[in-house]
Every structure is written in C-alpha cells, then in structure tokens.
C-alpha cells in the first residue's frame, strides 16, 4: 500500500505546476479564453516540447509509454488552471482509440505524429441524439469503390476547432455496427463551427459528402465499437483527474477568499455557514480524488477496473460541478466577475459533465458491472 506519488510522478507534477503558474496564470487563461488560436500558438509547442503529447503513447510509436496514473498526475495539474486545449482529446483519448482500434500501419502512421504534437486529433462521436453509447450514432458513411463518402453532423465535439485530424464514428450504409474514420479536418466538405455560450471548446462538425480513403478506415468496417468503448473507458479516469484538479483549484480559491474577505468586521471564514460551503468543496474534492486514483491504479495494474472507473466518473463529474457551485456561494458577487477567474472553472465543470458519458450513463454501466443488471 502506498498512496503517495512516485518520483516520476512528482517530477511530472512539479513541471506541470510550473507550467500552470507560469504560462497559464489567470491573465493568460482569460486571454486564451477570448482567443483560442493564441492558446495553440502559445502553449501547444511548449506542451509538445515537455513531452506531454507522447506520454500516453508507447515507445514503439514515438511516445514515452507512461502509466495512466502518470498521465493523470499531469492532467490533475492542468485541471487546476483550467488549462484549455486539445491535449486530452489528442494525446490521450484519440491516441488510445488508435491503439485499441487501429491497424499496425494506422498506428505507425499517426501515433508518432500525435506524440510529436504535429497532429492534433479530436474525437467526433456525439450527435443530435446526444449520447456516448453505440445506439446514439447515426452518422452515415457510404462505400464508394475503395473510398468512403461521409455525410452528417456531429455536435458537442470537444476540441475540434484545434484539430488537424478527426476520428469520426459512423455507420456504413448497408452494414450494421459502428465504423471509425480518420478525416482530415481541412478536407473539402468538412466544416467546424465553434459553439458559443456557457461551454468551453465544443464545436459542431458537419461533413458534406467528404471523401475518405479506404486507408483511413480505422479497424474493420462495422466493428469499431468494442475497441472504441475500451479506449473511452481507459481514458475516463484521466479526464476525472482533470476534474479533480478543477476541484482543487476552486477549493484553494475558496479557502483564500474565506480567509481574506471581511464582512461584519471579521473574515467570512469565521462564519460556520461559509465554513460549511468550503467543507462541501473539500469533501467533493477528496471523493473525486480517491475514486479516480483507485481506478487508475486498477487500470495500470491490469485489474478489472470497470466498476471503479464508472464510480470515478460518476463522482468526479458531479463533484467538479458541485465544488464550483459551493465556491460561488463562498465568493458571492466577485465570483461571477469574469476577470476573477472562477467562472472559467464553472464553465469547464459544465462542459466536462457529459464528456465521455455523464454520471447517469456510468451509473447504469455500474449496475451491470456489479451484476445487478444484465449486460
């Protein structure tokens, strides 16, 4: 039993912390929020140089083959920003999908370029009938000789606006099952439109008769879902770690504010009702933290991690959102001033709530994992 970080993880944590404090201080994050392109110009080359784009990719494909817990330690720190951008989508989620579903030639073609940061991948899976299960996928692909033609709309796609390449889940006409295609984000017929509102980094992706070469079919036609689901499951706890980082940040902000803000002649942290909000935040933080890291440990040690992963995502998605809510109760007016920075988290907590499946989906899957419901 050892619940501490190992030396490698401590190094990762230190460099990520320096990065967040330096390049991603509040003013920088507010600037990136207004101008996402500046974020890609400013941060992405640094992230690649630090080796973060290759951490979840095996050495054979140009990465460093780190344990998922190592990757999660990085993402927990990035979550404290919250540092936006496609690192998770590209270097964790899509890299994992290619590893699980791709042929050897597809892995050799794309993983080294993801690892170097040259390519930025995003997963286009969810559609108008929003959901993260196979039955929600209706997007059509049509076989045309050795090629395919893709037509349809994906929506609430995370990080598509930064992507050079998309992994698109579709159904090939005339066949059952889900297929996966790599689509050049700049290909003719692809339109990516960032969505505006109380969300971060989500887009609509439309394909209008987009031609995709047969080489860019990832895995077998109609047979990608199982591999896709394995990859999604493995990526979930890393996303949870990012949410843990978010909880940690709003906890630290709330503690600092409760200690310095004075009303009725004393700091508000002396009021038990304010204390209760802060306690709720730390309880959510720790629930998310320990369920997440136990799931990661099971994943890394090859144990059956499914139930723990479902618990972790159920808890972490709920916790990040609730932690932000309680932070707003502590901060009151100043909390909703955009310049203050809390709302970056609040918005991120909402944006990630459904990413890779909302708590409701993971609780349903947990019923099966616990043998309470048939698979």
The first and second tokens of residue 53, run together, are 């784009």
Give the other-Cβ count within 10 Å of 8's Cβ: 13
The first and second tokens of residue 28, run together, are 């920088």
Task: State in angstroms the smallest separation of the CB of 258 from other proteins.
Answer: 5
Provide the mask over 277-316, with x wherever binding to other proteins is found by CB under 8 A and - wherever it is not: -xx--xx--xx--xx-xx-xxx--x---------x--xx-
Task: State in angstroms the smallest separation of the CB of 6 from other proteins.
Answer: 8
C-alpha radius of gyration, the chain, whole number: 21
Provide the mask over 5-24, with x wherever binding to other proteins is found by CB under 8 A and - wherever it is not: xx------------------
In this chain, which stretch among 30-38, 212-220, 235-243, 361-369 interacts with other proteins, using CB under 8 A?
361-369
Name the pairing type of β-strands 190-194 and 202-213.
antiparallel
The reply to whether 363 sits near other proteins by the rule CB under 8 A is: yes
The first and second tokens of residue 276, run together, are 């209760």
Instruction: Return d(Cα 20, Cα 75) in angstroms, integer.
Output: 11
Q: Do the Cβ atoms of 367 and 373 come closer than 8 Å?
A: yes
In this chain, which stretch among 2-10, 45-53, 179-187, 236-244 interacts with other proteins, using CB under 8 A?
2-10
The first and second tokens of residue 203, run together, are 């887009």
In this chain, which stretch among 97-105, 140-148, 269-277, 339-347 interacts with other proteins, using CB under 8 A?
269-277
Helix (H), strand (E) at residue 298: helix 272-300
Would you say 147 or 286 has its CB closer to other proteins? 286
Task: State in angstroms the smallest separation of the CB of 202 from other proteins.
Answer: 27
Provide the mask over 52-91, with x wherever binding to other proteins is found by CB under 8 A and - wherever it is not: -----------------x----------------------
Q: Do the Cβ atoms of 106 and 98 come closer than 8 Å?
A: yes
- For residue 1, CA distances in Å to 294, 353, 370 come to 11, 31, 25
Instruction: Return d(Cα 99, Cα 93) in angstroms, integer.
Output: 10
The reply to whether 332 sits near other proteins by the rule CB under 8 A is: no
Task: State in angstroms the smallest separation of the CB of 295 from other proteins.
Answer: 10
Among 15, 164, 275, 343, binds other proteins (CB under 8 A): 275
The reply to whether 361 sits near other proteins by the rule CB under 8 A is: no
In this chain, which stretch among 187-195, 215-223, 272-280, 337-345 interacts with other proteins, using CB under 8 A?
272-280
The first and second tokens of residue 340, run together, are 């203050």
In this chain, which stretch among 149-157, 161-169, 251-259, 346-354 interacts with other proteins, using CB under 8 A?
251-259
Binding-site size, other proteins (CB under 8 A): 41
Instruction: Return d(Cα 180, Cα 127) in angstroms, integer.
Output: 15
Provide the mask over 170-199, with x wherever binding to other proteins is found by CB under 8 A and - wherever it is not: ------------------------------
Angle at 321 between CA 54 and CA 81, to 5 degrees: 45
Nearest to 295 by CA among 360, 371, 233: 233
The reply to whether 237 sits near other proteins by the rule CB under 8 A is: no
Instruction: Return d(Cα 174, Cα 234) in angstroms, integer.
Output: 31
The reply to whether 258 sits near other proteins by the rule CB under 8 A is: yes
Q: 231-248 b/e with 16+ CB inside 10 Å = b?
A: bbbbbbbbbbbbbbbbbb
Would you say 21 or 259 has its CB closer to other proteins? 259
Instruction: Return d(Cα 253, Cα 250) in angstroms, integer.
Output: 5
Query: Which residues lie near other proteins (CB under 8 A)?
Result: 1-6, 69, 255, 258-259, 267, 269-270, 272, 274-276, 278-279, 282-283, 286-287, 290-291, 293-294, 296-298, 301, 311, 314-315, 363, 366-367, 370-373
């Amino acid at each position: 039993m050892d619940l501490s970080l190992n030396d490698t993880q401590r190094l990762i944590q230190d460099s990520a912390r320096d990065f967040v404090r330096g390049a991603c201080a509040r003013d920088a994050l507010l600037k990136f929020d207004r101008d996402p392109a500046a974020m890609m110009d400013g941060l992405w080359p640094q992230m690649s140089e630090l080796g973060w784009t290759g951490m979840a990719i095996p050495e054979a494909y140009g990465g460093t083959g780190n344990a998922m817990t190592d990757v999660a330690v990085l993402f927990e720190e990035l979550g404290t920003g919250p540092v936006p951008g496609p690192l998770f989508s590209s270097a964790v989620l899509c890299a994992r999908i290619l590893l699980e579903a791709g042929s050897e030639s597809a892995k050799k073609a794309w993983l080294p370029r993801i690892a170097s940061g040259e390519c930025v991948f995003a997963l286009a899976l969810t559609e108008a009938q929003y959901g993260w299960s196979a039955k929600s996928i209706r997007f059509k692909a049509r076989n045309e000789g050795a090629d395919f033609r893709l037509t349809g709309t994906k929506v609430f796609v995370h990080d598509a606006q930064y992507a050079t390449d998309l992994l698109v889940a579709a159904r090939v006409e005339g066949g059952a099952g889900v297929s996966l295609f790599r689509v050049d984000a700049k290909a003719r017929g692809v339109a990516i439109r960032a969505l505006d509102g109380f969300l971060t980094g989500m887009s609509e992706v439309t394909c209008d008769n987009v031609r995709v070469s047969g080489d860019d079919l990832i895995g077998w036609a109609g047979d990608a879902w199982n591999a896709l689901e394995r990859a999604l499951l493995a990526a979930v706890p890393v996303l949870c770690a990012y949410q843990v980082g978010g909880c940690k940040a709003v906890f630290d902000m709330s503690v600092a504010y409760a200690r310095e803000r004075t009303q009725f002649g004393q700091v508000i942290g002396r009021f038990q009702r304010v204390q209760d909000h802060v306690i709720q935040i730390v309880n959510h933080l720790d629930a998310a933290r320990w369920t997440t890291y136990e799931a990661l440990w099971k994943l890394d040690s090859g144990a059956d991690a499914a139930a723990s992963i479902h618990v972790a995502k159920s808890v972490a998605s709920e916790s990040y959102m609730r932690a932000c809510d309680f932070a707003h109760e502590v901060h009151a007016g100043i909390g909703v001033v955009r310049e203050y920075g809390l709302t970056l988290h609040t918005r991120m907590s909402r944006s990630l709530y459904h990413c890779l499946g909302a708590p409701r989906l993971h609780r349903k899957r947990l019923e099966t994992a616990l043998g309470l419901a048939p698979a």
